[in-house]
Structure 1
Amino acid sequence: MVGTSRVRRAAGTKTFTDLMLHWEQNRRVSRGPPATDPTLDLAYLAYLAAGEPMAVVAHRRDESRLRPGTLILHTQAGEPITWFSGRFPRRVGSGLPMRAPIDVNEIREVDGRDKWRVKSRQFIVIDTHAEGEPWSLAVPVIDLDLVLAAFAAVSS
């Protein structure tokens, strides 16, 4: 994995510090989400296709609850999709890789007890199987296309 300073944050993964350092994003958020221009979503897909690492907020199901974390999408890496517990990866070896093939079973709204962990208006749940192991991730709705494109790139 590359250093965290070289990882781009996806549109739904902007932090308070990002907004304070970028005046235009701050103005956009004050008018309502998203923090970045939606036309940048195409640029994020191009970054992903070019092999640049991208970070997406992703809550992973751990037994009966969703744990907050970050999904690193890096199609050129040995482990192209890796989930890290916490807000941003601190150590290289601390992640859980999603191994190909990744089959998406269902994309659904946040419901039930999960609403206590994530905001149902801003997140969507993706139920998948990665190398036969079940994964359930809640990702920002704005980043859904980026995550699905990474799954497709790894699984093809």
Structure 2
Amino acid sequence: MPPAGSAREDDGAWPDRPAGSWASSPGRRRNMQAIRSRDTKPEFLIRRLVHARGFRYRVCARPLPGLRRTADLVFRPARVAVFIDGCYWHGCPEHYQAPKKNAGYWSEKVVRNVTRDRDTDQKLRAAGWLVLRFWEHESSEECADRIAATVVARRGVEK
């Protein structure tokens, strides 16, 4: 969706914009395409640590088949869904900084992301799942320890 009040592709307001893109320039488009939605460095570090502790899980999977949202790690038998949220995209109270360009559009995008996150949490809890959310800046070791302890407690057996 284009930002409110933005020019349409065919009116020539952004002549250097790639066809079919709402990006303001080819450079911005490349930048946005490079942002990963999965397999980020914090996510990968936590996954590696949890795996090294002997736990197995699904990566980037839907905890609930009817819910079109994916968790970063899913422990189906224990019904634990883990999300590693990026500080910018999920509005970290500690690190989020509003963008300088097109601030209205991006700030609204982050608000929609946070709203969707809370809705996801509520729907998973209602279905009997435990939701764990971590910020990308949190210690990977501490996150892995909490995940492991939670999964063990939910399984009811020591691992």
TM range, smaller chain = under 0.3
Structure showing greater Rg: 2
Q: TM-score, normalised by structure 1?
A: 0.25
Which one has a larger percent helix, Structure 1 or Structure 2?
2
